[in-house]
Structure formats: C-alpha cells, structure tokens
Structure 1
C-alpha cells in the first residue's frame, strides 16, 4: 500500500509542460546498446577539480527535466516565517526536501520563462535553505529528511536519491543566478552520494549485486520513479557541467535499469517499488496504480521518464517498456496525450445505471471507488476504438471482489463484422492478481491473453454466466493493444527536456 507521504508528493511529481514542440534533430549522448542481461560496471573518475558550467549554458542553465513554470499550483501552500514551504504528514506540518526542492525547480522554470524577480527571489530563498541544510560527509553531500515515512525501514535523518537529483540541478541554477562557486561545489558533492552506500550515508544500495539509487534509504525498497528522477539529476550534471563522475554514475544506473526494469512489469500495471504489504489474507505487492483519485498517475510518470531516458540515450529497451506500460494505462495520459483510450464503451444491461453505470469502466478509478455491475446472463460490453487497432492481445478485468470476477465469456472483434476470436474456457494464458488501494479497497485483477493477437475497430465481451454472487461487478475494463502512434506523440513532446 502506498503511504500518505506519496500522496503528499503525488501532486508534485507530474509537473510536465504540455506545450512541447518536436525537435527533428535529436542529439543523443550515447547510442551504445546496453544489454538487459548485463550491468555495465564503471570506474568512477574522481577529481578534486570543480566542474564549471559549460560555456553554452553560461547565464542560461536549463530547467530540470519534466519541470515547468506553473507556480500557481503553490498558491495554497503553507509557508514558514521565512517563506519555505511546509507540508503536512501524519497531521503535522514539517519540512520535506522531496517536496520543497521541486517547488524550487518550478520557481526557477518560472523565472526563466517570465524573468519574474518574484520567482527568482522565491527560488533563491528555497535554494539557500537547501544549501544551508546540506549534510556533508567526507567528500559527498546529501539533503536529508528527518521525518520517518510509514512502510519503509528508515533511520532519521535519511538521504534520498530523488532529492539529491533535484538538488543537484537547484544548486547549478543558483550558481547561474549568483555566480557563487559554493553552489557548484555543493552540486558536485551531491553527485558523489550516488557512489556511496546507504550505510555510509549515501543513496546507493545493491540489488542482487546491481547498483541501485534509492529514493528512500531502505535498501530493499527500490522505487522505480525515484530511481529515474535520480538518473535525471546525474544526466543534468553531466550535460550542464561535463562532470565525468556524473556521466559514469548515470551510465552505471542505465545498466542497472536495463537489468532490473523487467522486475517492475506486473502484466497489467507497474510495480511502484519492490516492497510487500502484509494483510490478514495475503502478502501483496505495491503497484504504481493504486493511489489517490488518479490510479494511473505513477504509471504515466514512469512512461514519461522512460521515454525521456530513451530520448537521451537511444536505448530501445526504454522505449519498448514505455510502450508496454502505455498499453496498461486505462484512460487519458494526463498532460501529454489528453485523449481517451476508447471512443466509447457501452453495456447491454446495467443493474443501476445512475449510481453504478458503464462510465465507471473507463474512468481510471480502477483500484478503488465505484463499479459497473450486471445480474443478467448474456450481457454485452462493447468498446469502440475509433480506428483500427493492431495486435489486440488481452482483455483485463478489475473486479470489486473475487466472487464478482467473470470466468465464462466470449470475446469478439469487429472486422467488417463481428468475429468470435476467443472463449475464456479455451484461453491458455491468464494472469491473476489483487490490489489493495491506499484507502483499503481491494480489487481483483485478471488478464486473459488471447491465443492469437487480433486486429479490429471494436471489441465485444459477452458474459455467459454470473459467477458465485449471481452478478458481475467491475471497477474497470482494459484492452491491451499496440499504441505506437500515441507513444511517438508523447516522446516527441518530451524531447524538449533533452539537454544538448
């Protein structure tokens, strides 16, 4: 179960600019293929020299990837007497570096976009607060968090690879404004935290001997989006200053991602981290799609991150996993592709159309909330795609309980006419799982893989029985098919975050 600290950060994590233009001449920092079977090891080139900002970025240090200047969303934030944002956790207001560091990034983006002195001053206020609260250990620095977060094995204060990733850029941006080299030195020392284990005060752990940069200082947690945020910080340092330590650590992390990304593929969504949740009934995994009123939030964030990393490196495994995760997405991809996945979805019968109507099958609230239900044998669900879809490979049911899961149905695809392509009783491959949403609601998920991939403009499911409870109750209904066209639109929009 994803804890309330993540609810606090969820609002901040997707700060993607939607008005992005495609760049035709994309420059990649490497086209070397990283094998998913091999983690590349690097000798980290340590130096006592200070990496200055490259000449092309003098007085023009770029914004941090995935950041825009939308400062209006911070109007309601609580500030301390010095103007530093405070955040509520477990009923108490406190300083959370993972949050206020992102606020700083947004103010810097606003300053670059508008030249607003107010945005510049607010950025520098938070940047100086970050600098003054850095913890220096030997030859590296971290921005620690004091508050312990439920669900993780932490000791206060604890460092975060995500926080350091953002802070690396904030220090370089502060240097851009002030020309004070103390910020350059601080940024460089924060890079070295990625080459230092958690036990020594850094952010590095080893997952089956594979180096992993941890968002939480819990060596077994392995948060995926936090790891990719940390890669963005290393990428930023290398591209803006030429820091060879950052470059080596970035590619070390890319090797780790190539080795471990498959571990986050749950078959219908992604794993948020690799921790387990113990309930009275079973041990459950934590998923990227079981949070707040937008269950696909973190899944979409991971898609953005994977595609950005693909833009930066040209590594095809990143694009392929982004496509896989996009197929799992159940609705509108907020900010980058604001169009519904389906043109329409209808049902021939509904028990209570007003309170439990068919619209619940396509509203993305599949890990909690309301559901659609029927108590009539022969009920049909029809999904219109709006255009021909290729490689239709599976249907996914998200039931409001195991006893409400359909187990006897037929699948039809429209190819000039309706063609029966599968019977659930003959399907050879399935995947079953369950999700515990943050509010405690449990959802059972079952994926039925068609024996042969199909092509069509619509799909229909006909239920041949009603199961143990004499009814079928579904929170969501998903169909897995190719989405390469949408993926390319999103990828092109994200290319503005490539630093040449």
Structure 2
C-alpha cells in the first residue's frame, strides 16, 4: 500500500472515531468497515477499527485513552502459542442454573496436594505465598463450588461442601469483607488485609447453594453481610468502582474490582465472577432475603450494562487481555492462555443466563482465535 493511501485510511479512522464520539454511530461504522475490509492495511490499524466498531454497535463511546498499538500483536501471538503448547481448553455448558452446576468446570487434579497447595486438618485448602501457607478465599470458594458440582453428580461431598461454606462464614470480618492475610503484588504492592470483589462474589455463589441445600438462615445472614461490603465504594474502603478512569463519560457505570489499585485496572474475569455471584444471590428470593435478592439483581443488571460497554477493549487482536491496564496506562497488555479459556466460558455463561446474542457473538469470536 502506498504512503498516501495509508495516511488516507488513518485519517478515515480518526474521523470515524470523532463521528463515533459525537454519537453518529452509523457514519462511524461505515468508516470502520472501510478500514476492516482493506486487508492491505497494517493489522494493528484494522484491529483498532474492529474494536471501535464493536463499541459503536453498543453505542459505547471510544475512550480517548484507547489506541491499538503494534506491540499488542506480539502479546497476542505469544498468548496463542502458549495456549496451544499448554494444551489449554474450555468447556461450554448448555445452560446455567444457580442451584445446579457452576459454570466454571474444574479438573480433579487442581486439588491434588503439592509443594504449593495443601489441605489443613479440617479439609480446607491452603496456598503457599511468600514461602508460607495461607487461606485464599477465592480458592476456598472455588473448591466449595467444585464439591457442589460433585454433589450434583453423585450426591457425594455434601458435608465437605458445607464445611467449606461454614469456613467462609467464620472468616467474614465485621464489615462483611474477606481479608487476605498475606501481601500480594498486582502492578503495585497490596498490603495484608487487602480485599477483592471476586472473593465477595464467589462467596455469594457458595452461600446461595448452601442455603438451597439446608435452608439454614446462617447462610442468608452471611450472604447479606458479604453483599453489603461488595456494594461499598472504594472511596469508603470497599471494592465497588466505576468506569471513570477508563472514560469520564462512564463515571456513573459500576465496576467491581478484583484488585483495588491506586489506578483502576478493570480485571475481566474477576468482574464477571462477581457478577455471577450477584446473579446467584438474586435467585435466593425466599421471604428472609427479598430485599437483598432485589439489590443483587439491581447490581447484576448495572454490572451487565457496564460490561457490554467495555468488552471490546479486552480484545487485543486474536486473543484477550487479562485487564485494561494497557488502556488506562498505555502499556503492553497483560494476557494469559488460561484466562483466555476462562473468558470464553464466562461469555458462554452470560449468554446462557441472559440469552443476549451479544455475549454469544463475543464467545464465538474468542473461540475462533484458538480453534485449530
């Protein structure tokens, strides 16, 4: 392609983004299509137009912080290579029911003891961090959900599941939070006592199932406390954020942060696990939980609305990013072969719950990136 033609297409992209942010979505999409259909263009320009088109189709603005860097392609290619070399895979359930199997299939080998993983004397999993073993709330929740799936299959492990649920109750702090007792690093240091929306959300998924099995009000009471903390804004010591760091026009849109950093990084998998927890708790609509069930449904709806406005940013060409650090901080994307599979399974779960073909289309697009 000649230099003049390339400059012309870059100009079309710039004008299309301007039209897009002026809410002239049809005009913007026409411009994006001109770029997407021109296979002689550099791949990073085509991918930027493709992501912007996905945003325009949702009538979501394009963040002024967003551009598709050529560096993204290296991350993308490495991710696909690791995915193939590590024989990653995904499992797609055909439906989702709060009181049946969880959507995130886990293999038995995940819970085999090793140098970095063990069970305590009560059968609760512990993980090694900084050369010491600690309880990780998400690990306990996921272990509990794995046990619940086994119970659905063969009625085994009910007591082990309830043991995990009861352990979670015992570790809830006065403010309704689960606190990590070890230091961690995610772009920046997280001190002892850090919290995560994912812990809160997955605990709701556990408590919803525990209450359904037992009708014991202790699970209702615990779920209510956990939900209250989940809905506490970061400014007040919680984990509920908004999308302002990504785009100030989206400051009224909620987001639940898996990691609370000084700059919001918007981890995708943790946000969706949290939303699934809200959905699960909204289905515990017994007389003692009507208020919290309704609140959970309200924030499930709000979270879904936010998610649809930002999903395209996680697409880095032919792979997915772990979070949006690459947008808000203009860095290389953080990516993982394992989490690409998780993202596919999460899109599938959201489609099964909502029947919204948007999630199905995203799922199928992300599957196409790793299909041999």
Which category describes the TM-score, using the shorter chain as reference length?
Answer: 0.5 to 0.7
- SS at 2:325 equivalent: strand
The answer to whether the 8 Å contact 1:64/1:236 transfers is no
- Output the CA distance in 2 between the equivalents of 1:91 and 1:311: 41
**Closer, same or farther in 2 for the Cα pair 1:239/1:180, shift >3 Å?**
closer
Deviation at 1:67, TM superposition (A): 4.3
- 2:144 matches 1:111: no
| Per-residue deviation, 1:78 | 1.0
Q: Quote the offset at 1:15 in angstroms.
A: 10
Indicate conservation of the 8 Å contact 2:196/2:258, yes or no. Answer: yes
Q: Runs of 5+ in structure 2 lacking a partner?
A: 1-74, 76-87, 245-250
Query: TM-score, structure 1 length as denominator?
Result: 0.49
2:359 to 318, 321, 338: 318
Matched, 1:65 2:109: no
Over residues 290-332 of structure 1, what are the superposed CA-to-partner deviations in whole Å (9 max), with x where a residue is unaligned?
Answer: xxxxx3x211211111122122113333223223322322x5x
1:138-157 equivalence runs, <5 A? 141-153=176-188, 154-157=190-193
Q: CA deviation at 1:98?
A: 1.6
Deviation at 1:259, TM superposition (A): 1.3
SS of equivalent to 2:123: coil
Q: Is the 8 A contact 1:63 1:109 kept in 2?
A: yes
Residue number in structure 1 paired with 2:325 = 275
Distance, in Å, in 2 between the alignment partners of 1:166 and 1:63 is 14
- State the 1:185 CA deviation: 1.4
Flag the 1:190–1:103 CA change in 2: closer, same or farther, 3 A: same
2:275 corresponds to which of 231, 234, 243: 231
Match of 1:488 in 2: none
| Greater Cα radius of gyration, structure 1 or 2 | 1
**Contact 1:15–1:66 (CA under 8 A) maintained in structure 2:** no
Higher normalized strand content (fraction of residues): 1
1:256 Cα deviation (Å)? 0.6
| Deviation at residue 214 of structure 1 after TM alignment | 0.9
Instruction: Decide whether the 8 Å contact of 2:257 with 2:271 is kept in 1.
Output: yes
Tell me if the contact between 2:325 and 2:334 (Cα under 8 Å) persists in the aligned partners: no
Aligned partners of 1:198 and 1:205 also within 8 Å:
yes
Using the alignment, how far apart are the partners of 1:264 and 1:196 within structure 2?
Answer: 26
**Over aligned residue pairs, what C-alpha RMSD do you find?**
2.9
The residue that corresponds to 1:299 in the other structure is: 340
Task: For 1:15 and 1:161, locate their aligned partners in 2 and report how far apart those are by CA, in whole Å.
Answer: 26
CA distance in structure 2 between the partners assigned to 1:301 and 1:127 by the alignment: 24
1:231 deviates by 0.9
**Structure 1 stretches of 5 or more lacking a match?**
2-13, 28-56, 290-294, 332-340, 342-500
Q: Which has the higher helix share?
A: 2
TM-score (norm 2): 0.64
Give the equivalent residue in structure 1 for 2:234: 198
